[in-house]
Amino acid sequence: MNVSNLSRLEQQLGYCFSQPKLLLLALTHRSFSHHNNERMEFLGDSILGFLIAEALFGRFPGAREGQLSRLRAKLVKGQTLATIARRFSLGDWLQLGSGELKSGGFRRESILADSLEAVLGAIYLDGGIVAARKRALAWFADELASLTLEAPNKDAKTRLQEFLQSRGCELPQYQVLQVQGEPHQRHFVVECSAALLKEKTQGQGGSRRIAEQLAARAALIALGLEKTHD
């Protein structure tokens, strides 16, 4: 892959490299070359952990250390990282060895998660901590917005459903109102309606799942079951 071909990925990531070779290295799996992204992934993993911890510290000023640790673990786990990587179609850009290509390595959760961390490490090396922070917060904006300290092991949709069921009400309904953007940058607007809500609530996000969770969280707030967080 030539560095000149990476401009479209840079656009998707929201960052233009002054040293494109750093991005190319971040996309190079160990199965492809001895000169690969493992060291950059190590760096990106540490930077991401710090940036997410910093964001959570500011977002939840009343949270205890254990609560913050659980929320951070939820955000930086491989499944979440792979989900974000798929939004950029990152797997299509990876340099993989023939064995990994044949076995579908470009779809593997662990490879996608590691590669996203490597890309963040590359951004840090290219533009410093300010650039890395800006990109990380943008990439994780939907996930950060959907977090809550209440019942951390249950998501908003589950909590809303259980509350309504406990009151003998029908399950909430979710309707997609809008889908905008290119395939790799979709933006969903979802509406939630439920029996006890005076007005329907809405949520917006980079996936239907996130938008539904935010609509459900808005419903919980409207019902007085959850507090807002600045």
Assign residue 99 the CATH number of its domain: 1.10.1520.10
Instruction: Please state which of the ranges 22-26, 68-72, 95-99, 181-185 shows the lowest mean pLDDT.
Output: 181-185
Query: pLDDT tens digit string along 32-78?
Result: 999 999 999 999 999 999 999 999 999 999 889 988 998 999 899 99
Residue 186: band (very low, low, confident or very high) from pLDDT cuts 50, 70, 90: confident
- What's at 99, amino acid-wise? G
Cα separation, 15 vs 34, whole angstroms: 26
Binding annotation: 41, 114, 117
For residue 185, what are the domain limits? 156-222
Asked if the model's pLDDT at residue 1 lies above 70, the reply is no
Where would I find the H helices in 77-207?
Answer: 78-87, 98-102, 109-139, 141-145, 156-166
Q: What is the mean pLDDT of residues 71-92?
A: 91
Q: Tell me the CA end-to-end span of the chain in Å, nearest whole number.
A: 43
Cα separation, 220 vs 52, whole angstroms: 25
Query: pLDDT tens digit string along 107-124?
Result: 889 999 999 999 999 999
**Global pTM value:** 0.70
Picking from 124, 145, 166, the residue at the C-terminal end of a domain is 145
Assigned domain for 86 exists: yes
Assigned domain for 229 exists: no
Picking from 87, 116, 145, the residue at the C-terminal end of a domain is 145
Hey, what are 141's tokens? 């904006």
Assigned domain for 228 exists: no
Catalytically active residues are 45, 117
Picking from 145, 180, 212, the residue at the C-terminal end of a domain is 145
